[in-house]
Amino acid sequence: MIKQQNMMIVSHQSIAEDVYELTLQGSLVRHMSSPGQFVHVKVTAGSDPLLRRPISICSIDPLLEQFTMLYRVSGGGTKVLSNLVKGSEINVMGPLGSGFPVDELREGEKALLIGGGIGVPPLFELSKRLKTKGVKVTHVLGFQQQSAVFYKHEFEQLGETYIATADGSEGTKGFVTDVIKDHSFEPDAYFTCGPTPMLKAVENMLDHTPGFISMEQRMGCGIGACLACVCHVQGDDTGLLYKKVCSDGPVFRSGEVVL
């Protein structure tokens, strides 16, 4: 059930270059069940900026009825959002989309979680849930440079964590695929979220492993009505089949959609 609600900001802080951690409180959290889902946020009540912002859910605390999202300031809307202070309210619609299937793995199996940049956050709640189930989690997280790295310590609490930076200022110099290439992780399944070229490279590299890929696309309505965020389906010769990232995804099985 999709709800919308004015939620209260309980904490808001910068955690890396242009990246903010925002925790919100409200009964809407009760409906958040699946890691990898997102919320659609109206950053002001007025008409500029007009549209909502889709932002992934990073962690959920059902007891306190709070959830945390991490976002990067990349335009006017997220700039306005970054100026909001504790105690103020923002309108949140959600939870939206399908999340990562935690039940895909059993106790004792191995999961590889691969994130790039602002695609890292939804992997955090996923990792917590997998670890709770007794799944062994390993994280490979890619960032532009050291100043952009976030949640390294938080992920390390849950499992082995490898960092790659494009300029080599932290961890392995290069991309997440360079880390994967240099290790024999042999996971039973992988879960990934990040920029599309990264998703493509990961899907190609781990083509014999079951995988779940969270897509990013510019959205309008966020609920499947406007058809702004569609993608093609792999193996469809007609070119007419499609999936909606907002409501069929954002998480798809590897090989399901054209990246």
Q: State in angstroms the smallest separation of the CB of 222 from another protein.
A: 8
Separation of alpha carbons 120 and 149, rounded Å: 10
* Nearer residue to another protein within complex by CB, 64 or 225: 225
CB of 40 to another protein, least distance (A): 9
Q: Which is nearer to another protein, 114 or 118 (CB)?
A: 118
For residue 5, give both structure tokens: 């609600």
Q: Are 26 and 8 in contact (CB under 8 A)?
A: yes
Question: What's the min distance (Å) between Cβ of 166 and another protein?
Answer: 18
Amino acid residing at 194: G
CA distance 130 to 176: 21
Q: What string marks each residue from 79 to 98 as x (binds another protein by CB under 8 A) or -?
A: --------------x-----
Taking the least distance from each CB to another protein, the nearer of 91 and 146 is: 91
The binder of another protein chosen from 30, 168, 183, 225 (CB under 8 A): 225
Pick between residue 41 and residue 179 the one whose CB is nearest to another protein: 41
DSSP 53-113: EEEE--EEETTTTEEEEEEE--SHHHHHHHT--TT-EEEEEEEESB---GGGS-TT-EEEE
Cβ 42 to another protein shortest distance, Å: 7
The site for another protein, by CB under 8 A, has a size of: 32
From residue 198 to residue 217, the character string flagging contacts with another protein as x (rule: CB under 8 A) and all else as - is -------------------x
Supply the minimum distance, in Å, between the C-beta of residue 71 and another protein: 16
> What is the Cα–Cα distance from 111 to 179, expressed in whole angstroms?
15
240's tokens: 């007419």
What residue type is 53 in one-letter code? R
Find the binder of another protein among 204, 226, 253, 255 (CB under 8 A): 226
Nearest to 111 by CA among 121, 96, 94, 123: 123
Q: Which residues of the chain form contacts with another protein (CB under 8 A)?
A: 1-2, 4, 42, 47-52, 77, 93, 217-232, 239-240, 242, 247
